[in-house]
Structure 1
Amino acid sequence: MKIALIHATTTALKPIERAFQTVAPNIELLHFMDTGLLALMEKSGKLTPEIIRRFSALLNLAYDSRVSCIQLTCSAFNGITSILQPLYTVKLFRSDEAMLDEALGYTTIGLISTVKETPIALQNYLLDKNPDCKIVSLVDPGIIHLLSQGRRRSMTIGLKRW
């Protein structure tokens, strides 16, 4: 089985490869990346026609590689799956779909992210499925840029009890 992975940042490569090696080592992974997408999303704060066009180009390359499915690896862009899924016969998976579906079992959901646009995409998904859930989010946008430079920093996050 071949799975295409669509990346907007290099920081996703190693973690997702480790995850697949642990859970499904026999799956062949194909990586498709456009590192300019994150800057476009940070500038606009939403999915623009340019972002959709560039994602579509990546998806076309992946689809033409005869993959079984296509997995996005950045939550900030997950809304694009509902826009572009009708164009492809293979399933497009959001990076966070299973996690969010499981989180819907709780009345309050905490979101921690490295990109300020991510909570919007996640909240939209959660509220579409359960308009009554309470969502609390915390964003540290500096972390993603440190990770892309290969730097790590420890981060202490204090969350109030809900």
Structure 2
Amino acid sequence: MTENKAIRIGLIHATMNSVQPICEAFRKHAPQVTLLHFMDEGLIFELNETGMITTAMVRRLASLIERAEESGVDGILLTCSSFSPYVPQIRGLFSTPVVSADTSMLEYAVQAAERIGVIATVGTAGPITTEQLKQMAADEGKTIKVRTEIVPEAFFALQNGDGDRHDALIREKVAELSATCEIVLLAQMSMARALDSFAVQPSVPVLTSPDISIRTILERLSMEGGGSGRQADLTRK
């Protein structure tokens, strides 16, 4: 890829709620990147109904990634944290780099804290995030304590257009977990919007995946010769 050619990133979504936060993060950190969106909103509805990820759902996810690769994108970013555990086996099927949005956020949390709070609005996202944190800590030989809170009413509020109620519910949980945790993670990209409405900043760091995932995908492309150093540096501002 030449220096003057714009990078194109394929974004894989399982819910419309993840579109706005990742688009805003790209506009802030890497506005020159072209975004292509690939959506299967039925995945998140099925996930909420069944509480489990099936082989058929993973195949549907892989189909979205295949469409993105066929569109000629330089990198692919999955915005739904519930499917993150399946990224390692899926990425081997494609020549285009595939990155999960929350992996870098979780790695940072394990390095930075021993008491970690997790907030999720989708039932499966909380346990999945918790298990990933514990596995990463085990791989590092580190002991952590994870407290996980799931707020499904926040998901449905946002899905029904009541963003204020979604944000208020998230803020309440952040305040609750801040009393005992060193770091709080918002497990899903769609939750990042709640940070914009804090009247008083939380007493501990609250991590979200949009900014970190942009840095990860651009650094990955830069290392593989798929992007310019300037584009990767934008994410460190």
State the TM bucket, normalised to the shorter chain.
over 0.9
Match of 1:141 in 2: 152
Q: What is the deviation of 1:43?
A: 2.8
Q: What is the deviation of 1:46?
A: 2.5
Q: Residue 144 of structure 1 aligns to which amino acid in structure 2? A: F
**8 A contact 1:6–1:33 mirrored in 2:** yes
Within-5 A mapping of 1:14-93: 14-93=20-99
**8 A contact 1:9–1:148 mirrored in 2:** no
Match of 1:111 in 2: 118
Give me the TM-score of the superposition, normalised by structure 1. Answer: 0.93
In the alignment, the residues of structure 2 paired with residue 136 and residue 91 of structure 1 have an alpha-carbon distance, to the nearest angstrom, of 32
**8 A contact 1:78–1:94 mirrored in 2:** yes
Give me the TM-score of the superposition, normalised by structure 2. Answer: 0.65
Unaligned stretches of 5+ in structure 2?
A: 1-6, 182-237
Q: Residue 126 of structure 2 aligns to which amino acid in structure 1? A: P
How many residues are treated as equivalent by the alignment?
162
Q: What is the deviation of 1:44?
A: 2.9
Q: What is the deviation of 1:89?
A: 1.4
SS of the aligned residue for 2:161 comes to coil
Greater share of helix: 2
In the alignment, the residues of structure 2 paired with residue 89 and residue 107 of structure 1 have an alpha-carbon distance, to the nearest angstrom, of 36
SS of the aligned residue for 1:79 comes to helix
Structure 1 runs of 4+ with >4 Å offset:
none
Once the two structures are superposed, what CA deviation does each residue of 1:48-86 show, in whole Å capped at 9, x if it has no partner?
011011101101100111111111111111112022111
**8 A contact 1:5–1:72 mirrored in 2:** yes
Q: Percent identity?
A: 31
Unaligned stretches of 5+ in structure 1?
A: none
Structure whose alpha-carbon radius of gyration is higher: 2
SS of the aligned residue for 1:88 comes to coil
In the alignment, the residues of structure 2 paired with residue 123 and residue 93 of structure 1 have an alpha-carbon distance, to the nearest angstrom, of 19
In the alignment, the residues of structure 1 paired with residue 96 and residue 131 of structure 2 have an alpha-carbon distance, to the nearest angstrom, of 24
In the alignment, the residues of structure 2 paired with residue 36 and residue 15 of structure 1 have an alpha-carbon distance, to the nearest angstrom, of 20
1:101 to 103, 107, 110: 107
